[in-house]
Structures are given as C-alpha cells and as structure tokens.
Amino acid sequence: MSEREPIGVIGVGWVGLVTAAGFAELGHQVYARDILQDKVDALSRGEVPIHEPGLPELLEKNRERIHFTTDMGEVIQNAQLLFCCVDTPPTYSGDADLSRVERVVEELGESTDHALVMKSTVPVGTGRWIQRLRSDVGYVSCPEFLKEGAAVADFMKPDRVVVGARPDSAEFGDRVEKLYEPLSAPIVRTDVASAEMIKLASNAFLATKISFINEIANVSEELGADVEEVARGMGLDERIGPHFLRAGIGYGGSCFPKDVSALKQLAGNSGYHFQLLSSVIEVNELQKRRTIGKLQKHLGSLVDREIALLGVAFKPNTDDVREATALVLAHRLIGEGASVRIHDPVALDRASELLGATRLCRTAEEALDGADAAVLVTEWPEYRELDWTGAIKDSMRNPLVVDGRNFLDDEALRAAGYTYEGIGRSTASAVEA
C-alpha cells in the first residue's frame, strides 16, 4: 500500500468535512460521499455549508484531491479505508440512533477488502454488532474528538488519536495509524470496545466538570463567593486543571447532551444505574432554567416583557445550534409570556425554524433596542465590543444584563448603572458592596 493511500469519507457534516479536508491536506486523495445531493453539489462548487474557521481555505487549497459524490460505489471503488462520519442523534429514549450507521453498513454491498473506520460517536458494542452484520468487512474504531470552532486545528494537532481495531482487522488498524503518523500525536492503540468507551467517557467527564462548576457557582451565589475566583484557584492545581471550569448557563451542542445521555442509557441497558450522569444531566437542565429566575428576580412577571437573547449558536465560532441553550431559553421565556428577540452573528438562519415566535434581529443593537433585559447566551467576542455604556444603555428600556457566560465587563456595566447578574458571582459583589 502506498504511503498516501486514498481514503473514503461517508457523511460530510462537521466531522466528515474536516476529516476530508484534513486528509487531503496530508496528501491523500479523498472520496467524500453524502446522501444529500444539494450538499454535494454545493461542496463541488466550492461552497462550504457550515461555519468553521479555516475550513473553507483548507477545502479550497485541496480542491483537486477531494472528490464529492453521492455515489457509494465511487467511494468503494477508489478507497479501502472508509471513514464513517454519519450522524448518530439521540432517540426519544436517549439511546443513540444507529440507523444511519446501519444504512452505511448495508450500502457496503459486495465489498470485502474494505474496512469501516468508525468516526461517528457510537455506543460501546457497536463494533461487535457490526461484526455480526458484516464480519467480512474490516472494522476499526477511531473516534473523533474535534471541537467545533477549532476543528481544523484539532485535526492537525490532536491531543491523541485512538485506534481500536478488531483482532481480525489489525492490519487495517495499522493503516489507520499510518494515516495519522504525520501529525505526531500520541496514538492509543486498543480494542474496539475500549476505543468506543474512551470517546463516551471523555465527553461525559467534560460534561461532569461543567455541571460541577455550575453547582459550585450556584452555591457561591448563596454564600458570597465568586466562582471565577474559585475556578482560578482550583484550576491551578495540576490534578484539576483550568479547562472546563467556566461556570455558565449550561452546556449544549451536538455532542455533550447526546453522548452523556447515550452513556447513561447504555449503562442502564446493561443493568448499571450511572447515578452521577443522571445528576450531571439534571444539573445542566436546571442551570438553563435558572436564568428565568434571575430575570424574574428583577422584573417580576415576564408577561409582555421584551427580552433580548444574544447568541444562538451553542458556542462561539460555529453556527451549530443543535441542543443550543438559547433554544431552551427562548421557548421557556415565551412560555412565561415574554416577547423574545434574538441575535447571533452567524447562526440565526440555521436556527430560525427552531426558535418559534421570536423576533430574529440582524444586529445586536436591534435586539437590545427597547429591551427590558439582555441575556448573553453565547460568548461571541463582538458582544464584548458593543457600546454597552453609551448607545445601548440609552436604547434599552431597562438596564438589566444577565451574563450567562461571565463574559462581559461586570464592573463597567455596574458603574454605568446596569443591574448585572452573572453566574456564581453577582451576590459576591452585592455582599462586598
């Protein structure tokens, strides 16, 4: 096999597109297949359907090496390592929906000298299940750890690459390892079930860290501590580390909610009650709703109140709105009788169908004009640059800011006459005052 063997990518969403662009950048011919004709056509014309920094440039640079298609046959004909990057959304029960993965397996047709390299996040046991369906096709679990908003950098400089090959697919596992060799990342070579668990456990752990610091924030509010100070002091401990200790209004996105729930369900299905994860999920749900209480504390009833939400994307630098906290907030506020106006620099169109009776605003200024309160939901850098103490202060009907990410300059806002509510810190200032 040549050093830069061609690869197949099945499903060109966030993971598939970054995988395709990344391997093309490393010199591989990439045959990238999606079932959505419109998406394939757009990509073939050079249009990138998602907001991901650096991705359009990388795709453009490697255009010659990436072949977008809807034809699975073309992929199978040209590549033996087939990276499966299809979506695995949650079912109503919280288990992962593997129907798209199953379809990919069915579509492998007669091919036997191929390996499915699983990048989609799947339950532990999926490799075993696929072996029962197609033992004649190789199988390697190679879970993806990219962060949206920094996905290209994460592909090029991963913290680690996990490769879990079935015993009869060891040679395919070696070939997957070789693909990643130029990136000089630590390789974790392991069995399939452990690789699958590494992915779920990593996301569950990060979500646990977030829910933990959010609970510390909530208790800090009661006791007069400032969670930002607490997190700083905790994070300097090497055993804890500073990452994922940012208190806020809860995690969202296409991965954490579904992966935490999938691991909890998976444990339950095997007879084990994963108590900690039940709490992680519950804390996150309550955290989103605490914002309503903060608004009511200052405004009383929210009926007919004009509330501006800043940010829809589940985090900055992406237009992904899957499981975004803003969606929950918008619907809760509408349920309380409030009128909701909402802005996001890039994600508004993607979210428009999910937002119900909200007013979509093309600028943050428009959203804030005449508002009774502003809720900062996504920490887009431009929100810090707004003229909070000047024009915005004058245009709001009532100067109340609930900073859901502890992102704005609280001292400047207070000095300008705003009522400022952060997460885990507002009472601290009040106590000092």
Ligand X SMILES: NC(=O)c1ccc[n+]([C@@H]2O[C@H](COP(=O)([O-])OP(=O)(O)OC[C@H]3O[C@@H](n4cnc5c(N)ncnc54)[C@H](O)[C@@H]3O)[C@@H](O)[C@H]2O)c1
Least Å distance between CB 84 and ligand X? 8
Q: Using CB under 6 A, pick the residue from 104, 292, 312, 328 that binds ligand X.
A: 104
In this complex, which beta carbon is closest to ligand X, that of residue 106 or of residue 394? 106
Contact between 187 and ligand X per CB under 6 A: no
Contact between 8 and ligand X per CB under 6 A: no
In this complex, which beta carbon is closest to ligand X, that of residue 33 or of residue 175? 33
Q: What residue is closest to ligand X based on CB? A: 13
Catalytic residue among 84, 142, 255, 361: 255
In this complex, which beta carbon is closest to ligand X, that of residue 34 or of residue 228? 34
Which region among 100-108, 276-284, 305-313, 337-345 touches ligand X (by CB under 6 A)?
100-108
Number of other residues whose CB lies within 10 A of the CB of residue 170: 13
Contact mark string toward ligand X, 121..160, x via CB under 6 A: x----------------------x-x-x------------
Contact between 204 and ligand X per CB under 6 A: no
Active site annotation includes 84: no
Q: Using CB under 6 A, pick the residue from 85, 227, 267, 312 that binds ligand X.
A: 85
Q: Restricting to residues 23-82, name those near ligand X by CB under 6 A.
A: 33-36, 39
Contact between 10 and ligand X per CB under 6 A: yes
Where in the sequence numbering do the catalytic residues fall? 255
Q: Where does this chain bind ligand X (CB under 6 A)?
A: 10-16, 33-36, 39, 85-88, 100, 103-104, 119-121, 144, 146, 148, 254-255
